[in-house]
Amino acid sequence: MPAKSQIADTDEPLREARFWLPTYAVLCTAFLAVLVLPYVLSDPEPHKEIPQARLREQIVAMQTRVFNDVGAFIAQNTMDAGVETVLDGSSITLRLPERMLFTPGAEQLLPAGFHTLNQLKELFLIQGLQTIHIRGYTDDSPLPPGVRFRDNWELSALRAAHILRHLLAQGIEPWRLTATGFGELEPIFPNTTEENRAKNRSIEFVLERRLGKE
């Protein structure tokens, strides 16, 4: 009998442990969460910062090479007398004066304008990873009487749309093209002199590298 009592006394702590061990495990887990969570929140995925910075640097480097190629193409095709090129970070802007594409106050392309766009089409086909944002601008001069446009904004929008449609017909992929008219609302230069007004009457082609298209 004494031996039986001794075994019963030895098993008692084991039976009690079955009740408090799960609670102890939950408390330990909660304690670890309290310690680790602030560290995780204070430094969210730091390993992604370096790749993003490197990606931006790579895009700028690629666009710089494209900018040089664009300049060479324009010079080879004797377009450098009218086309202005600007590199701003990863964006490349080709700015064409109104006279190269349109009659003043009209939205229909000139014959010389079709020729210019056909030249640019060849450039855009070569640079197939670039999106092309077509932007129309005017100065702040009022439209002449009798025109069918309500304002300069509508004129600039129609010009940009005509260019987009022509490039589509020439085989430029739709996903690469957008067209926006700014009219006199966002002048490139202050409309304070006749020289600046002439510069504002223009069309821009803004090229940007489209990621995910190879």
Cβ atoms of residues 189 and 162 within 8 Å: no
Identify each DSSP E strand in the chain by its residue range. 84-88, 91-97, 130-137, 177-183, 202-209
Q: What are the φ/ψ torsions at residue 149 (nearest 5 degrees)?
A: -95, 145
- Taking the CA atoms of the chain, what radius of gyration do you get in angstroms? 33
Confidence grade of residue 5 (pLDDT, cut at 50, 70, 90) = very low
Domain 48-209, CATH: 3.30.1330.60
Element (H, E) at 148: none
Binned at pLDDT 50, 70 and 90, residue 84 comes out as: very high
Q: Write down the pLDDT at residue 52.
A: 82
Phi–psi pair at 207, nearest 5 degrees: -100, 130
C-alpha of 208 from chain center: 6
More confident residue, 105 or 131: 131
Quick: pLDDT tens for 33-49.
555 445 545 555 554 55
Taking 80 as the threshold, does the pLDDT of residue 30 lie above it? no
Q: Which residues contact 95 (CB under 8 A, 6 or more apart)?
A: 83, 84, 85, 86, 188, 202, 203, 204
Cα-based distances in Å from 16 to 11, 64, 120, 184? 9, 74, 85, 84
pLDDT tens digits, one per residue of 96-111:
999 999 998 899 999 9
Place of tokens 């790579």: 58
